[in-house]
A and B are shown apart, each in its own frame.
Chain A
Amino acid sequence: MKTLGVFIFLIMRLYKLLFLIVFVLTISVNVRSTITSYTEFYYEDKADTLLTGNTLLCATNFILENPIATFLSHTGLDTGFGFFAPNVASEYITEFKVFSKDSILLQKTNFPLFRVKETGTRVKSAYLMFEAYLNQRPDSMDIKKCDIFLKGLSTRVLLDTERSAYVTSNVYLYHHPLLSQLKADADMKPIYTMIQSKTYSRNEVWGHLYK
């Protein structure tokens, strides 16, 4: 009975310790994410300089070191909880126009054909990367990543359409009128700004997607 008592005592101590570690790490990750997102939102142009000199941010640098970084990454604790903050990000819309060999429009769609809704939710979360088309150099890694993603989406649309020969893929930044803009002009319509347009033919399709 005494052994069990000691065991329970140790277990409760272990819980206390584990949760304490979780609290410290959660607070550190979130302080970091709060400072970063706030600075990048309000001081976009000089964010890098400001962040480098931020004492509080530097104090949380330990979470970037291993094994802490690995622990955070493998427990889901590496995320900041400021979802949709400090600002709800703008969304990007894709438009795919699929043509036949004779340039007849076969299909116009915004997404590849997903069998389940959850896939759409997940794929849309990756659309945020298209922001790179607005603010990155054309030869940057981020742009290359966006191009690969757009090609993946386009390929899938192309392969899902019978008799398709090529697809024109457009990416738009979507802006819905703000409350303040509607106050000034009640009839204002949403604005679609094209930020990328590419055409892919069947010859360019990735071989591994043919299944």
Chain B
Amino acid sequence: MKFGAIFTNNNSKSTGETLYLVFFRIAIALFLIAHISAIYADFDYLFGSGSLIPNQVTNFYLGSYDMSLLRWSQYFGWDIDFTFQLTLLLFILFVLFLLVGLFTQPSAFLLLVLHISIVKTNTFFNYGMDYFASICLFLLCFLPSNVSFSLDAILFHKKIDGLRARLDFPIIRKYMGIFMCIAYFFSGFDKLLGYNWRNGESIWKTFTLPYSNLDFNLQLEWLADYPWVMIGMGWFVILQEIFYFLINHKPLRRFWLIGIVCMHLGIALILNLYFFSAIMIILNLTTYYDFEGKLKGFQTFGKSSELKPQS
């Protein structure tokens, strides 16, 4: 018995169709582990009792229904530091559940609650990545990302086999694609409205912001002599985002996907926004990477190896 079959129940025709959801679940779980590990050392500066902006100040700006660790601690009457430690512990526990696909949707829901509670504790320190992490967790609350490669698929195999065989996975992927098209359209359209994006100044400004390009310290000053490069890059970003929906046209998909991934790698390289870039790349690959094709290629390769005559 092949190892993979334990997790996938390989006899199902639709395993390939579900791979994008499996990738999404596992990639987001790994992403969250990496991110929480990255901020753990300075957690107190950001969201703890020793925060650079006291949590009580942020609390003033929160809506009455918003969750935050400060509010949880006040609600339960717990010490604030105990609340932080408990939240982190639960966060790691449910991320591991999500990773292995155990009680996947409830785990994603609880993770969303914990994630929102953490980031709302000090909203001033939030940036784009936090919003996309919340969106991804929200999607994982109801998407069937546990139908393959998950402990749920073993524990509840009867129900999940039935679901996997009959759910329309391609249409769910299309819905995710529409969401991405809307997001990129507005991102590109808002840039188009800014004259500085059209004349290359915004790209130049991005390169020369005092806190960008600190990690690799690329020498970019010489680009000032070639403004057309920045104009070209500005238009490339605008057009790539506004016309992102063209990625749905199969012959263009590979090029558009490479282009958008390169753009996010550029953001990581220049603006050093690694986690933001990573989550956007995960979303793009989830929605448009050809996992099924790769799986078929892998299986064909396996079969041809088996049939190869012994010399």
* Contact of A123 with B130 at beta-carbon distance under 8 Å, contacts A5-B166, A179-B201 already known: no
Q: Mark A115-129, 1 if CB is under 8 A from B, else 0.
A: 111111111111001
What is the total number of residues of chain A having a CB less than 8 Å from a CB of chain B? 74
Q: For residue A120, which residue of chain B has the nearest CB?
A: B211
Query: Main secondary structure on chain B at its contact with chain A?
Result: helix
Q: Mark A76-95, 1 if CB is under 8 A from B, else 0.
A: 11111111111110010100
* Contact of A115 with B131 at beta-carbon distance under 8 Å, contacts A27-B182, A153-B52 already known: no
Whether, in the assembled complex, A97 has its beta carbon less than 8 Å from a beta carbon of chain B, the answer is no
User: Among the listed stretches B82-90, B134-142, B246-254, B297-305, which one makes contact with chain A, having 4 or more residues with CB under 8 Å of it?
Assistant: B134-142
CB pair B50 A209 closer than 8 Å? yes
CB pair B52 A75 closer than 8 Å? no
How far apart are the CA atoms of A48 and B65 in the complex, in Å? 27
Min CB distance, B234 to chain A, in Å? Answer: 10
CB pair A152 B130 closer than 8 Å? no
Residues of B within 8 A of A126 (CB): 52-53, 124-125
User: Among the listed stretches A18-26, A162-170, A193-201, which one makes contact with chain B, having 4 or more residues with CB under 8 Å of it?
Assistant: A18-26
Q: Mark B200-227, 1 if CB is under 8 A from A, else 0.
A: 1110111011110001000000001001
CB pair B42 A86 closer than 8 Å? no
The 8 Å CB contact of B172, one of A15, A22, A179, is: A15
How far apart are the CA atoms of A144 and B290 in the complex, in Å? 52
User: Among the listed stretches A30-38, A53-61, A100-108, A131-139, which one makes contact with chain B, having 4 or more residues with CB under 8 Å of it?
Assistant: A30-38
- A118, A182, A186: which has the most chain B beta carbons within 10 Å? A118
What is the total number of residues of chain B having a CB less than 8 Å from a CB of chain A? 77
Query: Main secondary structure on chain A at its contact with chain B?
Result: helix
Residues of A within 8 A of B66 (CB): 70, 73-74
The 8 Å CB contact of A85, one of B135, B184, B190, is: B190
Min CB distance, B56 to chain A, in Å? Answer: 10
Q: Mark B115-127, 1 if CB is under 8 A from A, else 0.
A: 0100010001111
Can you list 16 A-B pairs with a CB-CB distance of less than 8 A?
A: A11-B163, A15-B171, A33-B190, A76-B132, A81-B183, A82-B186, A93-B210, A114-B45, A119-B45, A126-B124, A148-B53, A149-B52, A178-B205, A179-B200, A179-B204, A211-B50
Give 8 closest A-B pairs by Cβ, nearest first.
A76-B134, A82-B190, A86-B194, A85-B190, A119-B42, A152-B52, A115-B41, A30-B186
